[in-house]
């Protein structure tokens, strides 16, 4: 993986902590909108993680493949991800 592993690990640990907190909120029957706000905050962190990984992939693997004249496969792979993100 080309992305900054320390940054990715920190963000994922934060998301994990938030998920644990959301689970506790559900178990405690907390107010729906408070739970929803925490779900959205966790989703935002996971989106940021994914963006970091995709950006690093483009700057590393995709760039390298293009420079070697083998970019079509990496571009197709990336387009598959973009398609999933836009659904």
Give tens-digit pLDDT for 30-73.
Answer: 999 999 999 999 999 999 999 999 999 999 999 999 999 999 99
Would you tell me how many other CB atoms lie within 10 Å of the CB of residue 68?
9
Structural domain count of the chain: 1
Residue 28 and residue 25: Cα distance in Å, rounded? 5
- Rg for the chain, CA atoms, rounded: 17
Structural domain boundaries enclosing 20: 5-85
pTM score of the predicted model = 0.86
CATH of the domain at 56: 1.20.58.1000
Q: How confident is the model at residue 2 (pLDDT cuts 50, 70, 90)?
A: confident
Contact 49, 41 (CB under 8 A): no
């Amino acid at each position: 993986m080309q992305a900054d592993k320390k940054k990715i690990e920190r963000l994922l640990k934060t998301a994990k902590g938030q998920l644990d907190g959301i689970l506790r909120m559900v178990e405690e029957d907390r107010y729906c909108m408070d739970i929803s706000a925490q779900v959205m905050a966790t989703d935002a962190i996971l989106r940021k993680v994914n963006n970091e990984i995709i950006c690093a992939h483009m700057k590393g693997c995709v760039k390298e493949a293009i420079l070697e004249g083998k970019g079509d496969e990496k571009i197709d792979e990336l387009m598959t991800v973009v398609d999933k993100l836009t659904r």
